Chains A and B, each alone.
Chain A
Amino acid sequence: MVGTGIALAGQATLEAVDCMRRADTLFYATPNPATEVWIRRINPSASTLQDCYAEGKPRDRTYREMSDRILSAVRAGRQVCAVFYGHPGVFVQPSHDAIRRARREGFSARMLPGVSAEACLFADLGVDPGEVGCQSFEATDFLASRRRFDPTSVLILWQVGMLGEPSIREGMEGRTDRLRVLTAALRRHYPARHRLVLYEASQFPVSEPIVMRIRLSALPATPVLPMTTIYVPPLQSRSLDPRIMEWFDDG
């Protein structure tokens, strides 16, 4: 299982491209037709998994069909590679499912890391998750599971434009009433004037990432698309625990 990265062509690792080139059977799932063109240049025999999607079809069934197709080729004795958009293991169910099933059946299977949207965010916004830590949640899960987090650390929320949506429609935007619920949840930890960043990584060599800075209070009135990520900067850190800091003097 390998990833294309987010940006067209340039973010696939050398290792991933080598696997794609050498595969007897190469499957791909990417929403970007330009990425399909690039994949077919690498391995002309590549075939799409995108036809597993259908309007109104439950996502779980779609993903099961994808992993079924991958497994069928593995059972037929082929060297199989499946390439997914971004990182093959981040927000990608069929890759994890196919690996688990292949291993259970005695086949060797592995996932290669790829460039995820989170990796792009760190680069584009100049955020180092090592400084104060980083918490990352799918937005609906963040609200529904009442996730606990530390506001003095970075908070990243994914799929904010799809709060509680069972499926995605073209032209979809986050519903104002649901964004209001998210804003209220965040207001329990941050002031109304706290600055957020609405972020979308760039997918093309000629375009820039979308970086929009707003106040938390403005979130419900802001158009938020399904692929938009919210980056919430940390509040000021607490004072350090002197007992821990003394450890540095011991050495």
Chain B
Amino acid sequence: MSDSLSNFLVDLASDSDRLARFMDNPGAELDQTDLTEEERTAVLSRDSRRLANTVGISAQKSGLGITSKKKGPKKPGPKKPGRPGGGKKKKR
């Protein structure tokens, strides 16, 4: 996806006058950009998910799923058999 859509959205988010003009007449504001037809359609839909897809938001890189699998308390397992003779293994 080109940077044009990102730049256009940043312009709108940073300039309340331009955002107001867009809300008043979206087609006129879009005519001043070089957005593709797909990008224009996404902006005009004003659908958050569609825009996210068109801009290229990556769910995989979103930080979602941050709570990785946690280990619970250990269950008592079967007792390991001791080595014959017991005690620590000597270093060689």
Chain A: residues with CB nearer than 8 A to chain B?
7-10, 29, 31-34, 36-38, 41, 50, 53, 55, 58-60, 63, 84-85, 91-93, 138, 140-141, 144, 159, 162, 165-170, 172, 200, 202-210, 225-227
Contacts and interface: CB of A to CB of B under 8 A. Distances in A.
Main secondary structure, interface of A, reads: loop
A34 B66 CA distance: 23
Interface string B23-63: 10000000000000000000100111101100111111111
Contacts of B13: 7-10, 38, 204-205
Interface string B1-25: 1010111011011100001001100
B68 A226 contact: no
Nearest to A59: B68
Nearest to A60: B68
Given A166-B65, A204-B9, A226-B65, 11 more contacts: A10-B14, A84-B63, A91-B63, A167-B60, A202-B48, A203-B48, A205-B19, A206-B23, A206-B46, A207-B51, A226-B64
B62 A168 contact: yes
8 contacts: A38-B14, A41-B10, A53-B61, A58-B68, A166-B69, A167-B60, A204-B9, A207-B51
User: Chain B at the A interface: mostly helix, strand, loop or mixed?
Assistant: helix
A92 B5 contact: no
Contacts of A226: 59, 62, 64-65
B6 A207 contact: no
Contacts of A7: 13
Given A8-B13, A204-B9, A209 B48 contact: yes
A167 B46 CA distance: 29
B60 A170 contact: yes
Contacts of B48: 200, 202-204, 207-210
B70 interface: yes
A231 to B, nearest CB: 17
A169 B69 contact: no
Contacts of A144: 70, 72
B6 A31 contact: no
Given A169-B60, A200-B48, A210-B48, A205 B9 contact: yes
Nearest to A37: B6
A205 B52 contact: no
B72 to A, nearest CB: 8
Contacts of B52: 32, 203-204
